[in-house]
Amino acid sequence: MTLRSQNIALLAHGIETKSAVLTASLRQGWDLRFLLSSREAFSLLRTSALEMLVYDWDSKDGDWRRLCHTCIDCGTTFVLVANRPSDDLFLEVVAAGGAGVLYKPLTPERIVTSVRTGRRLSAEAGELRVGR
């Protein structure tokens, strides 16, 4: 089953993460944008409708918390990818409004699952905002 076309951005410097996200995007027909810096991510969030931003912890590019908060403010799902994640990191990401942490090595299947979960969480958050 493929999901409808989605705009997804990836901020990562490692080939393994890039390959997994690219493979998932090609299989699912998503529009994928590779970002080179957090500055580019902030600019893109201000000008484009992104459904998800995948941030690789190992890129160590900018403040991921600020990026996560900006994503949430723009209605974009934020997912962090980490080589050695911990419960504390997971809780930090969720507390900041992110959808969670994906563990390396990343697979295309885990990316697809993450996008589906992110979409579901975004829909539920939208319903909560409308229901106020």
Domain that holds residue 55: 7-130
In-domain check, residue 109: yes
- pLDDT for 130 equals 52
Is the confidence at residue 66, as pLDDT, over 90? yes
Average pLDDT over residues 104-126: 81
- Structural domain tally of the chain? 1
Residue 73: per-residue pLDDT: 92
Q: What local confidence, expressed as pLDDT, does residue 5 receive?
A: 52
Q: Is residue 95 part of a domain?
A: yes
- For residue 2, being part of any structural domain is answered with no
Residue 99's pLDDT is 87
Instruction: Look at residue 4 in the predicted model and tell me its pLDDT.
Output: 43
Q: How far is CA 25 from CA 3, 33, 38, 93, 111, in A?
A: 10, 10, 21, 23, 9
| Average pLDDT over the chain, rounded to an integer | 86
- The mean per-residue pLDDT over the stretch 93-102 comes to 89
Buried b (16+ CB within 10 A) or exposed e, 19-39: ebbbbbbeebebebbebeebe
Instruction: CATH number of the domain at 36, please.
Output: 3.40.50.2300
Identify whether 1 is part of a domain.
Answer: no
Q: Is the dihedral of CA 68, 114, 74, 21 positive or negative?
A: positive
Mapping DSSP to helix (H, G, I), strand (E, B) and coil, where does residue 100 land? strand
Mean pLDDT of 25-35: 94
Could you tell me what percent of the chain has a pLDDT over 90?
A: 52
Considering the domain boundaries, does residue 36 fall inside one?
A: yes
